[in-house]
Amino acid sequence: MPFVQPAPELPHPYQADPVLRSYLRRVLPPEVLADLEPSLQAMGATALAMRARSLQDRLEEPRHIPFDPWGHRVDRIQATRLWQEAERVAAEQGLVAIPYEDACGLHSRVFQFALVHLFHPGSDVYTCPLAMSDGAARTLLDSGNRILAERAVPLLTTRDPARVWTSGQWMTESAGGSDVGRSATEARLGDDGRWRLYGRKWFTSAAASPMALVLARPLGNPPGGKGLALFYVETRRPDGSPNGFTLNRLKDKLGTRKLPTGELDLDGMEAVPVGPLKDGVRAMAPMLNVTRAWNAVTAASLLRHGLLLAWDYAGKREAFGAPLARKPLYQDTLAGLEAEAQAAFHLAFHGAEWLGLVEHGAGDPALQRLIMPLVKLTTARQAVAGCSELLECFGGAGYVEDTGLPVLLRDAQVLSIWEGTTDVLALEALKALTGCGFPAFRGHLEALLEPVRDRMLALPAGAVRTALGQAQAWWAGAEEAGARRLALTLGRTLALALLVRQAQWALEHDHDPVPARVAFRFAAQGVDLTFHW
């Protein structure tokens, strides 16, 4: 018989993830964690079943149905079977509802994102519409428009799968994604007192959602971002027909292939202004804070998923007389990836904590405006680089589609593009730094390091301070061309401070030196990118 390699198997993603578990033990009061534990265990089991289904249905894709059998234009989308299942699971487990039910107060966002971290890798990126639905609920609540909030938020946040809604966010146009101020979609007020939208939206994920938040320029408004307004639309009329839109096609994408991303023409779509008829980009800001937190958590979750599979494979695959798991160089490669994955995890959950803090009036929004882009851009770059490296850990098998491995890299690649590219977020971070001031960021990191007293951690804690000093010196003469390196330096420095804090806790509470080693390794991999110019 020729040799047949046993496939890597995914362990229960909650039980097998010491990083998530020890983080939750640190941040949640024991009685809260005890209450949440059954949901986390159950989500781990569901995630395993969904991954098996995702591998089985690997080639299934969403379908655009332009016409009904009698020739009426319907522009419906037939979602994959896994997506239909994911919609039910997400609603029942409250993946959008949890922060709005607020049963765990300040910890609600952490609980929500712990579930998302487990759910994402087997969900075929169903997290994209969930992120936008969460963002839409937050945006409508923050807008102060009670009528729209009372209409849509209960449907976005219900746990009833038969009633639940998802939302799209329609911003990007052909002329501008990053520079959204170039948007050409017009809003015209009719004689009947209703607003209607005319234009083309170039990337609309979750194109089948019953509602969306849309940027459009009221007729006569000035050009640029300030002239745009935020509108609420329901995509179907009461009889189910399209509300003044045509879905021209679904995009043929590198990854996220189960996610239907459409190109839409709006030709008289009825819409309701969410707030004042200007400053729509600013009105959309709560959406972006939320979706960026989801982006970061899904980035961290892809890295963890890949590592769980890689460690399993390393125990089964033999080369040169021993399992890969016993080869010192292979161990070192995985240790480097582990350090990036843990850094991404702590950054992502820091973003989640900040969402919760600001929502509860306990965090400074000016600092949040800096932290969220740093968290998003850093974790996204880590996911793209890490998933590429992870595929190599499986050798040729990592490049073969029906192992279910290449999709990791293809789906990771989008994380640094949507919700703001790396460069664009770096510029936002630079602006936010000017707003809150470097000392505020420095103070935040010093507060993270405050409990750190173990001598073992002096070196990585020192690396945080050195990198901060370098970044501050650079920032004094800030130039646009260096914004990306500055932002990545700040993001990685924040990640290191978070790793050091967790390591101190693990030493004190579990006598566990592993997180300290991880912090060392991450520091050695480099946090300061301002050095090299």
Ligand X SMILES: Cc1cc2nc3c(=O)[nH]c(=O)nc-3n(C[C@H](O)[C@H](O)[C@H](O)COP(=O)(O)OP(=O)(O)OC[C@H]3O[C@@H](n4cnc5c(N)ncnc54)[C@H](O)[C@@H]3O)c2cc1C
Look at the block and give the residue holding tokens 């362990």: 11
CB of 290 to ligand X, least distance (A): 14
State yes or no: residue 245 binds ligand X (CB under 6 A): no
3-state secondary structure of 261: strand
Query: Residue 336 and residue 63: Cα distance in Å, rounded?
Result: 40
CB of 424 to ligand X, least distance (A): 5
Q: Which of 157, 261, 291, 379 binds ligand X (CB under 6 A)?
A: 261
Give the Cα-Cα-Cα angle 305, 156, 356 (nearest 5 degrees).
60
CB-nearer residue toward ligand X: 257 or 317: 257
Q: Which of 127, 204, 298, 489 binds ligand X (CB under 6 A)?
A: 204
CB of 481 to ligand X, least distance (A): 9
Site for ligand X in 75-94 (CB under 6 A): none
Residue count (the chain): 533
Which residues does 16 contact at the CB level (< 8 Å), separation at least 6? 308
Residues that bind ligand X (rule: CB under 6 A) add up to a total of 22
Site string for ligand X, 155-174 (x = CB under 6 A): -------------xxxxx--
CB-nearer residue toward ligand X: 251 or 327: 251
CB of 261 to ligand X, least distance (A): 5
Q: What is the DSSP string of 125-144?
A: TTHHHHHHHHHHHHHHHHHT
CB of 418 to ligand X, least distance (A): 4
State yes or no: residue 498 binds ligand X (CB under 6 A): no
Which helix (H) or strand (E) segment is 77 a member of? strand 73-78
State yes or no: residue 205 binds ligand X (CB under 6 A): yes
Locate 288 and state its tokens.
């972006």
Query: Residue 56 and residue 43: Cα distance in Å, rounded?
Result: 20
CB of 117 to ligand X, least distance (A): 21
CB-nearer residue toward ligand X: 129 or 218: 129
The CA–CA distances, whole Å, from 378 to 170, 490, 491 equal 25, 9, 6
Query: Residue 325 and residue 53: Cα distance in Å, rounded?
Result: 28
Site string for ligand X, 389-418 (x = CB under 6 A): -------------------------x--xx
State yes or no: residue 253 binds ligand X (CB under 6 A): yes
Query: Residue 386 and residue 377: Cα distance in Å, rounded?
Result: 14
CB-nearer residue toward ligand X: 204 or 382: 204
The phi, psi pair for 16, rounded to 5°, reads: -95, 10
Q: How far apart are the first and last CA of the chain?
A: 58
Residue at shortest CB range from ligand X: 177
Q: Which of 183, 256, 368, 382 binds ligand X (CB under 6 A)?
A: 256
Q: Which of 424, 432, 495, 507 binds ligand X (CB under 6 A)?
A: 424
* Residue of 27, 205, 182, 49 lying closest to 128 (CA atoms): 205
Q: Which of 41, 221, 246, 421 binds ligand X (CB under 6 A)?
A: 421
Position 102: which residue type? D
Q: What is the DSSP string of 115-126?
A: HHHHHGGGTTTT
State yes or no: residue 177 binds ligand X (CB under 6 A): yes
CB of 241 to ligand X, least distance (A): 22
How many Cβ atoms are within 10 Å of 285's Cβ, its own excluded?
Answer: 17
Binding site residues, ligand X, CB under 6 A: 168-172, 176-179, 203-205, 253, 256, 261, 414, 417-418, 421, 423-424, 427
